[in-house]
Structure 1
Amino acid sequence: MRWTHDEFELDDDPARVDRDAVWQYVSTEAYWARWRTREHVEQQIDNAWRVVGVYHGEETIGFARAMSDGVALAYLADLYVLQRFRGRGLGVALVRAMIEEGPGASFRWMLHTDDAHELYAKFGFDKPDRTYLERPHPSL
């Protein structure tokens, strides 16, 4: 599925994702992913239920991936837009494309983030309710 946003394009074709661009971002700029190896990132993209890229021409300037059971719930991960393209509504467009305009529109969505709470709140993300439990990573 393809969407446009001004001169930008969003696309959920996994073959179109520039893995070098994703690796460059998550290994150097993403506070949440710098511990990963290139092999980890490749495996996460390969095993993703869905990916959505943001493109300016052929350049991958944003990305998100999701894990899901394909029926009822999904987890949003690794969402970013390159710094020089921020402030143009691309983060909103990327979240919308991933969670509201695709096959997971009726799912319960989860994510972890240390920033961008205002962005995710626009889509109904909030603190977990009383039914949600989580086992944190052992090293945290």
Structure 2
Amino acid sequence: MQVRCIAASDVDAVHRLLVTGGWAHRVGDVQDLGRLISASQRVMVAVADDEIIGFARAITDGISNGYVSMVIVAEQHRRRGIGQALVERLMGSEPNITWVLRAGRTGAAEFFAKLGFSASSTAMERSRR
């Protein structure tokens, strides 16, 4: 398994992964996904046997703040460290960045806690309409 930056040729496969994994409401069509990717500073894919099996994206200023927006691993490849590898690659080694995320999906809070995240009483949210 390899974690690498996304390539333009990966977008269709990533879209299929996201739709299959229950993210269709967040990504729209392939063109919408392309716009999401273009607006993100860090976008990674996990590849095994020439197949996209994981995807993650983040928005960050690279100095102080970062937001992990999406992390998904194909169901049959979960619990093998792929999600962890994606998140670690997204965040990099900058020690001064405070990373935040929404952990609303089942199991997300426990997954991210293993990566050093903890619940915060200081975050606020304005939900989509």
Report what 1:110 is aligned to: 100
Structure 1 residue aligned with 2:3, among 7, 10, 18?
A: 10
Alignment of 1:30-69 (within 5 A): 30-31=22-23, 33-38=24-29, 39-69=31-61
Matched pairs, number: 126
- TM-score, normalised on structure 1? 0.78
In the alignment, the residues of structure 2 paired with residue 104 and residue 21 of structure 1 have an alpha-carbon distance, to the nearest angstrom, of 30
Report what 1:95 is aligned to: 87
Provide the aligned C-alpha RMSD in A: 2.0
Is contact 2:17-2:53 (8 Å) kept?
no
Residue 95 of structure 1: how far off its partner (Å): 1.6
Structure number with the higher helix fraction is 2
In the alignment, the residues of structure 1 paired with residue 9 and residue 95 of structure 2 have an alpha-carbon distance, to the nearest angstrom, of 22
Structure 1: gaps of 5 or more residues: 1-7
- TM-score, normalised on structure 2? 0.84
- AA matched with 1:37: G
Over 3 Å counting, the alpha-carbon distance change for 1:35 and 1:63 in structure 2 is closer
Structure 2 residue aligned with 1:84, among 76, 81, 89?
A: 76
- AA matched with 1:43: R
Structure 1 residue aligned with 2:124, among 107, 129, 133?
A: 133
- AA matched with 2:2: E
Structure 2: gaps of 5 or more residues: none
Q: Secondary structure at the match of 2:44?
A: strand
Over 3 Å counting, the alpha-carbon distance change for 1:105 and 1:61 in structure 2 is farther
Is contact 2:21-2:72 (8 Å) kept?
no
